[in-house]
């Protein structure tokens, strides 16, 4: 299933994408599960699938007002330096011993179709296309061999980065408000299979600027889950971004910084395309 969060007349709703229409689950299941997070927390994706045949509203996908797949996500973990590449702030990334984890607040991300906010304090605004996943079943000390069974689904993420501030600290460079994108929807894990077989592509104004197979990550998704859950129990609805490959604007000659009007697309095979324009 492609699970989607959206708004109609300012009211947050969720549903399942079927062709070019969204089957509204808020009317069918909303009394028990008011949003997608509550559905995931209750481990009720099977109920969502069963409810698709029940009577209720459908909405055209065209013109729909998207929300983030998990609006206001409580915890967003990001893996840095997870691909072989020249690092955007200098140096070459080659085989780190442990995952480099940092966190972002939900306010840093906007949904598919929303405008990114170029920072006023810097001109070094950059893109990072990534695969992200959402935890379905929580847990601590999850072994790698069971890790994929803890995933509810997969989505796309643009980890917007402000490179001169990133040289101050990762926190500073990665936490500008509305600097990144998250969406367009959440594809359930059963439709993906092995995420290492997926391909990630980022395009800037239609030009391909990043491409990788996800099997090139230093730390696989099972390894990331095992590491994170050894540090802190993972919770349903936690979002984990898995890192970005070679090709960001900072590593180009000359650097290619984002400016108002630029359109960024992050595409993951079998998942979809996240698109945002810089305001």
Tens of pLDDT, residue by residue over 168-203, are 999 999 999 999 999 999 999 999 999 999 999 999
Length of the chain: 279
Residue ending a domain, among 39, 66, 93, is: 66
Residue 60 shares a structural domain with residue 102: no
Residue 231 shares a structural domain with residue 117: yes
Q: So what's the pLDDT on residue 212? A: 98
219 and 74 Cβ atoms separated by less than 8 Å:
no
* Residue 91 confidence class, pLDDT cut points 50, 70, 90: low
Residue 57 shares a structural domain with residue 94: no
Instruction: Report strand pairing: 272-278 vs 115-116.
Output: parallel
Residue ending a domain, among 44, 66, 88, is: 66
Q: So what's the pLDDT on residue 90? A: 67
109 and 123 Cβ atoms separated by less than 8 Å:
no
Q: How many domains does the chain have?
A: 2
Residue 54 shares a structural domain with residue 81: no
Q: So what's the pLDDT on residue 234? A: 99
Q: So what's the pLDDT on residue 169? A: 97
Q: So what's the pLDDT on residue 93? A: 63
Angle made by CA atoms 216, 219, 222, in degrees to the nearest 5: 110
Residue 184 shares a structural domain with residue 266: yes
Q: So what's the pLDDT on residue 33? A: 97
In a domain? residue 212: yes
The residue-averaged pLDDT of 77-101 equals: 85
**Token pair of 276 as six digits:** 């945002």
Question: Average pLDDT over the chain, rounded to whole?
Answer: 97
Is the pLDDT score of 18 beyond 80? Answer: yes
In a domain? residue 71: no
Q: So what's the pLDDT on residue 86? A: 76
Residue ending a domain, among 66, 92, 112, is: 66
Residue 106 shares a structural domain with residue 223: yes
Coil vs helix vs strand at 107: helix
39 and 14 Cβ atoms separated by less than 8 Å:
yes
Query: pLDDT > 90: what percent of the chain?
Result: 93
Range of the domain at 7: 2-66
In a domain? residue 222: yes
Query: pLDDT > 70: what percent of the chain?
Result: 99
Residue 34 shares a structural domain with residue 11: yes
What would the pLDDT profile of 222-273 be if each residue is shown by its tens digit?
999 999 999 999 999 999 999 999 999 999 999 999 999 999 999 999 999 9
Other beta carbons less than 10 A from residue 138's beta carbon? 15
* Residue 148 confidence class, pLDDT cut points 50, 70, 90: very high
Is the pLDDT score of 99 beyond 90? Answer: yes
How many angstroms from the chain centroid is the CA of residue 259? 22
């Amino acid at each position: 299933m492609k699970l989607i969060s959206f708004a109609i007349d300012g009211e947050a709703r969720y549903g399942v994408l079927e062709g070019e229409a969204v089957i509204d689950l808020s009317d069918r299941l909303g009394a028990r599960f008011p949003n997608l997070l509550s559905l995931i927390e209750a481990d009720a994706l099977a109920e969502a699938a069963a409810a698709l045949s029940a009577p209720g509203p459908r909405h055209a996908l065209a013109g729909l007002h998207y929300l983030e797949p998990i609006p206001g996500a409580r915890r967003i973990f990001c893996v840095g330096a997870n691909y072989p590449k020249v690092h955007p702030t200098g140096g070459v990334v080659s085989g780190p011993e442990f995952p480099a984890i940092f966190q972002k607040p939900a306010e840093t991300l906007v949904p598919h179709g929303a405008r990114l906010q170029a920072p006023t304090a810097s001109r070094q605004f950059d893109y990072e296309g990534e695969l992200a996943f959402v935890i379905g079943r929580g847990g601590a000390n999850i072994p790698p061999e069971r890790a994929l069974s803890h995933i509810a689904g997969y989505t796309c993420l643009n980890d917007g980065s402000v490179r001169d501030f990133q040289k101050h600290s990762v926190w500073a460079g990665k936490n500008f408000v509305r600097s990144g994108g998250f969406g367009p929807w959440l594809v359930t894990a059963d439709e993906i299979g092995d995420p290492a077989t997926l391909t990630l592509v980022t395009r800037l104004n239609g030009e391909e600027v990043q491409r990788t197979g996800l099997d090139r990550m230093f730390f696989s998704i099972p390894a990331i889950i095992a590491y994170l859950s050894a540090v802190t129990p993972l919770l349903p609805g936690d979002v984990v971004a898995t890192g970005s490959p070679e090709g960001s604007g900072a590593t180009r000659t000359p650097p290619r910084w984002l400016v108002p009007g630029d359109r960024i697309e992050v595409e993951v095979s079998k998942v979809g395309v996240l698109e945002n324009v810089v305001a």
